[in-house]
């Protein structure tokens, strides 16, 4: 039986997966408008630019849904810390629960300053969290947590992220004079202000026909702030969403196993981790988790009776409930 404390984290991850589906549906509807076109622009003597243009902006709800996807990932991480604190303190709610949050920091100084937020956790759990921090990553730009937190903060505290498009695949074929082949320069891949300059062609003599280009391009959705990342921009947008959600799901599962010896759905842990975790749990004596009891009903003072009608008793003025009687049990 799975630990109910982790239910919130998994429910939020399931909702994030629904948002992924919604984003794909919005993009596919947008593509039905045929919003993209390509043209060869004269850029001066003996030079042309292959430009992709965007006739329709992406619908605003793309950014709204993406923000909700971010919220659920970030919230699932906070929920796993709360659930872990419940298990380690053996108290529901855990002590000082308002201070708890999943740590994501760009500097060690920030980590140290906020350690009090992890007080109910065990030392080895704090060590695990420390190892995951963006400041501890060999390539900070590749860190999952850093980007979840960065994008979520933009969406929560500033504005919606900017939904745009990116040329995810580009294999152009150029038809030009054999005697004056063009030099090719690569440009940008992310759309800004409704267009994207992909390649530039320059010939030496310019006495032949104007080159022709088949772009052979595939276009994906993009979030402008995320597309600025050198590491993440190399990955397809749909792949990014999938691996981000899978990463957070694995993180939840790791702490669920560490607390309970079980996970749901899949187990991303190593054999070595499981053995260490099992030894820790076996060597400790854990009391049952103290949970809040249901509070007694506080009844109001008795009120006087008021005349009514058969029609009201039958519920004829309450169509959402329909006619009927409630009998004592």
pLDDT digits (tens, 9 = 90+) for 111-169: 999 999 999 999 999 999 999 999 999 998 999 999 999 999 998 888 999 999 999 99
Q: Report, in angstroms and rounded to the nearest whole number, the Rg of the chain calculated over CA atoms.
A: 29
Confidence label for 256 from pLDDT (cuts 50, 70 and 90):
very high
In percent, how much of the chain has pLDDT > 90?
A: 71
DSSP strand E in 129-274: where? 163-170, 173-175, 183-186, 195-202, 212-214, 217-223
Confidence label for 328 from pLDDT (cuts 50, 70 and 90):
low
**Full DSSP string of 52-69:** EEESSPPPTHHHHHHHHH
Q: Packing angle between helix 7-31 and helix 237-260, nearest 10 degrees?
A: 170
Percentages helix, strand, coil for the chain, rounded to the nearest 5? 45, 15, 40
Query: Quick one: 294 exposed, middle or buried, by C-beta within 10 A (0-12, 13-18, 19+)?
Result: exposed
Quote the distance between the C-alpha of residue 328 and its chain's center. Answer: 49
Q: What pTM did the predictor assign? A: 0.85
Please, are residues 19 and 68 in contact by the beta-carbon 8 Å criterion?
yes
Is the pLDDT at 269 greater than 60? The verdict is yes
Predicted pLDDT of residue 327:
54
Task: List, for residues 70-81, the tens digit of each pLDDT value.
Answer: 999 999 999 999
Higher pLDDT, 196 or 288: 196
Predicted pLDDT of residue 209:
82
* Nearest alpha carbon to residue 9 among 117, 87, 63: 87
* Nearest alpha carbon to residue 103 among 124, 79, 78, 127: 78
Please, are residues 62 and 20 in contact by the beta-carbon 8 Å criterion?
no
* Nearest alpha carbon to residue 116 among 106, 103, 128: 103
CB atoms within 10 A of CB 226: 20
Quote the mean pLDDT of the chain: 91
User: What is the rounded end-to-end Cα distance, in angstroms, of the chain?
Assistant: 33
Q: Distance (Å, rounded) from C-alpha 17 to C-alpha 244?
A: 11
Please, are residues 26 and 100 in contact by the beta-carbon 8 Å criterion?
no
Q: Distance (Å, rounded) from C-alpha 232 to C-alpha 138?
A: 15
Please, are residues 134 and 49 in contact by the beta-carbon 8 Å criterion?
no
Omega of the bond leading into 32 within 30 degrees of 0 (cis): no
In percent, how much of the chain has pLDDT > 70?
A: 96
Is the pLDDT at 319 greater than 80? The verdict is no
């Amino acid at each position: 039986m799975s630990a109910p404390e982790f239910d919130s984290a998994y429910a939020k991850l399931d909702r994030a997966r629904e948002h992924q589906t919604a984003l794909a549906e919005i993009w596919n509807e947008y593509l039905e408008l045929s919003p993209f076109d390509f043209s060869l622009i004269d850029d001066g003597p003996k030079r042309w630019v292959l430009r992709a243009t965007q006739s329709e902006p992406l619908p605003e709800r793309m950014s709204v849904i993406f923000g909700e996807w971010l919220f659920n990932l970030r919230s699932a991480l906070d929920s796993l810390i709360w659930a872990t604190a419940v298990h380690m303190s053996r108290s529901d709610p855990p002590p000082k629960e308002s201070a708890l949050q999943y740590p994501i920091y760009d500097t060690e100084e920030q980590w140290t300053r906020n350690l009090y937020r992890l007080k109910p956790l065990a030392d080895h759990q704090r060590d695990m969290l420390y190892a995951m921090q963006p400041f501890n990553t060999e390539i900070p730009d590749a860190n999952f947590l850093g980007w979840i937190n960065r994008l979520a903060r933009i969406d929560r505290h500033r504005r919606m992220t900017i939904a745009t498009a990116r040329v995810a695949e580009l294999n152009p074929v150029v038809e030009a004079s054999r005697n004056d082949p063009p030099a090719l320069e690569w440009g940008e891949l992310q759309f800004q202000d409704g267009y994207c300059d992909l390649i530039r062609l320059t010939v030496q003599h310019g006495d032949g026909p104007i080159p022709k280009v088949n772009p052979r391009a595939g276009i994906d959705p993009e979030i402008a702030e995320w597309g600025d990342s050198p590491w993440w921009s190399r990955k397809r947008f749909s792949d990014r969403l999938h691996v981000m959600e899978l990463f957070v799901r694995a993180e939840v599962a790791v702490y669920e196993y560490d607390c309970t010896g079980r996970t749901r759905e899949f187990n991303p842990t190593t054999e070595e981790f499981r053995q260490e975790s099992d030894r820790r749990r076996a060597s400790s004596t854990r009391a049952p988790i103290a949970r809040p009891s249901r509070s007694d009903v506080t009844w109001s003072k008795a009120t006087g009776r008021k005349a009514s009608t058969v029609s009201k008793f039958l519920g004829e003025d309450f169509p959402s409930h329909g006619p009927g009687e409630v009998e004592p049990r």
